[in-house]
């Protein structure tokens, strides 16, 4: 009898112990499931934007300024749009097509981005085009200006918020004929973008009735323009049209002054010739230059003034053209997300929503051409003069809502 009671007691104890262990296991499993569910929910509540931008090499400053503009806009939204957290995942493409393609695959496969933006280099943009199209990845191009990205290389998933090289060059052509003269000398850096801008200018200028007397294309990254400027120093032209950017713009404008052409032959060109990031290095040399560009510090609108004020407060420096590009790209992405109430799971719906975006940005009213996927925007004619001992640009004319022909 005692043995039976002892065995019964042991059996009851064993049952209770097994029940406790079983309950603990169930509770632990439930907690793990709850944890996993919470993690998945948090991930679904975040929209990842891949920023393929150079942070090293010759275009590092452009990439940094683009990223600064994007960060400023999303910071103003508290990094949240339509109830979704916004995260930027940035990768350095080094302005190298193969590096850019490799970094794109990292952004898509490892980081699982939802939307792509960048690049600075047209060569990188062309290199990633097929991969973007194959993956049906919504891509808002925020700088690269190569014409074919929204022409021969157009994709349903690629939309450009920056500019085409055609817009930059063509916008100055007719204006130059009417305001500068009937004979122009054309010069540009010898690479694809330089040639595209020059060709667009020539087409518009000659269509208006002007004559291109001669043209010359020094190598990209040239240090000495003296031999080229000597050829331009002639009495049978009314002006010089030039496309140079970055350090090339600094040296060309300085040497244009040093070799006695300033004050003798008017210099006109693209906005990068006298942009915010090069003009301080040019001293007084840019005084009198006229250029065309889609954004300038001097645009006097409430939107641009607010952008400049916020940018200078955050970064303690003036915004550049690229800063405005980054800000606008972020705004377009945000407005697209809002249109879809935060649901960006369907790529086709994302690009469809993006195509109908119309905003008033620091550069003015912008929208998209649904045929070419290129931005429609104002181009501004700006003139440089000396104000309080330093050079400043001023908008003197506007060519409204310039549409790339797409061919």
150-167 pLDDT, tens per residue? 999 999 999 999 999 999
Torsion angle in degrees (nearest 10) through CA of 221, 276, 328, 155: -20
Element (H, E) at 58: none
Mean pLDDT value across residues 224-242: 97
Q: What pLDDT does 57 receive?
A: 87
The token pair at 117 is: 């933006």
Return phi, psi of residue 239, to 5°: 180, 170
CATH code 3.40.50.2300 region(s) in the chain: 46-163+300-373, 166-293+381-402
> Mean pLDDT across the stretch 316-325?
98
SS3 392: strand
Q: Which tops the pLDDT comparison, 1 or 326?
A: 326
Mean pLDDT of 287-296: 98
Query: How confident is residue 336, by pLDDT bands cut at 50, 70 and 90?
Result: very high
pLDDT the model gives residue 389: 95
Claim: this prediction has a pTM higher than 0.85: yes
Whether the bond into 139 is cis, omega within 30 of 0: no
20 has a pLDDT exceeding 90: no
Rg of the chain over all Cα atoms, to the nearest angstrom:
28
Is there a contact between 157 and 187 (Cβ–Cβ < 8 Å)? no
The predicted model gives 96-117 an average pLDDT of 98
Rounded mean pLDDT of 355-371?
97
Mean pLDDT of 324-348: 98
Return d(Cα 178, Cα 205) in angstroms, integer.
Answer: 9
Contact 285, 254 (CB under 8 A): yes
Query: What is the pLDDT, as a whole number, of residue 44?
Result: 60
- Predicted confidence band at 34 (pLDDT cuts at 50, 70, 90)? very low
Fold of 166-293+381-402: Rossmann fold (3.40.50)
Per-residue pLDDT at 69: 98
Classified by CATH at the fold level, domain 46-163+300-373 comes out as: Rossmann fold (3.40.50)
User: In the structure, what pLDDT confidence band is assigned to residue 402 with cuts at 50, 70 and 90?
Assistant: very high
The whole-number pLDDT of residue 380 equals 98
pLDDT for residue 308: 98
- Report residue 58's pLDDT band, with 50, 70 and 90 as the boundaries: confident
Whose CA is closest to 355, among 336, 341, 338, 337?
336
Check residue 381 and give its pLDDT.
Answer: 98
pLDDT value at 91 more than 50: yes
Rounded alpha-carbon distances, angstroms, from residue 131 to 51, 95, 142: 16, 17, 18
CA separation, residue 243 to residues 296, 309, 323 (Å): 17, 30, 20
Query: For 292, phi and psi rounded to 5 degrees?
Result: -120, 140
């Amino acid at each position: 009898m005692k043995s039976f009671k002892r065995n019964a007691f042991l059996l009851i104890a064993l049952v209770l112990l097994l029940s406790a262990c079983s309950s603990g296991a169930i509770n632990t499993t439930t907690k793990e499931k709850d944890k996993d569910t919470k993690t998945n929910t948090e991930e679904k509540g975040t929209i990842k934007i891949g920023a393929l931008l150079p942070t090293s090499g010759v275009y590092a400053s452009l990439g940094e300024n683009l990223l600064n503009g994007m960060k400023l806009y999303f910071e103003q939204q508290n990094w949240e749009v339509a109830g979704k957290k916004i995260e930027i995942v940035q990768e350095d493409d080094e302005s190298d097509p193969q590096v850019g393609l490799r970094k794109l695959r990292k952004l898509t496969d490892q980081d699982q981005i939802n939307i792509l933006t960048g690049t600075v280099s047209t060569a990188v943009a062309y290199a990633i085009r097929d991969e973007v199209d194959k993956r049906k990845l919504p891509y808002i191009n925020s700088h690269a200006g190569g014409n074919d990205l929204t022409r021969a290389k157009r994709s349903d998933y690629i939309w450009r918020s920056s500019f085409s090289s055609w817009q930059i060059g063509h916008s100055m052509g007719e204006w130059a004929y009417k305001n500068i003269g009937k004979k122009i000398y054309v010069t540009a850096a010898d690479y694809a973008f330089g040639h595209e801008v020059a060709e667009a200018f020539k087409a518009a200028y000659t269509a208006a009735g002007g004559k291109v007397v001669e043209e010359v294309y020094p190598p990209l990254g040239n240090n000495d323009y003296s031999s080229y400027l000597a050829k331009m120093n002639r009495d049978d032209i009314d002006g010089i049209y030039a496309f140079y950017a970055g350090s090339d713009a600094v040296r060309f404008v300085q040497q244009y002054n040093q070799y006695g052409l300033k004050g003798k032959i008017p210099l006109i060109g693209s906005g990068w010739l006298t942009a915010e990031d090069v003009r301080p290095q040019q001293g007084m040399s840019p005084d009198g230059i006229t250029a065309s560009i889609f954004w300038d510090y001097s645009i006097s609108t409430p939107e641009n003034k607010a952008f400049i004020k916020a940018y200078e407060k955050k970064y303690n420096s003036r915004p550049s053209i690229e800063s405005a590009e980054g800000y606008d790209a972020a705004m377009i992405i945000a407005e697209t997300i809002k249109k879809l109430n935060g649901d960006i799971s369907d790529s086709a719906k994302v690009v469809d929503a993006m195509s109908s975006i119309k905003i008033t940005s620091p550069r003015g009213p912008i929208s998209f051409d649904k045929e070419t996927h290129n931005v429609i925007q104002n181009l501004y004619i700006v003139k440089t003069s000396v104000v309080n001992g330093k050079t400043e640009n001023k908008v003197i004319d506007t060519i409204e809502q310039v549409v790339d022909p797409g061919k």
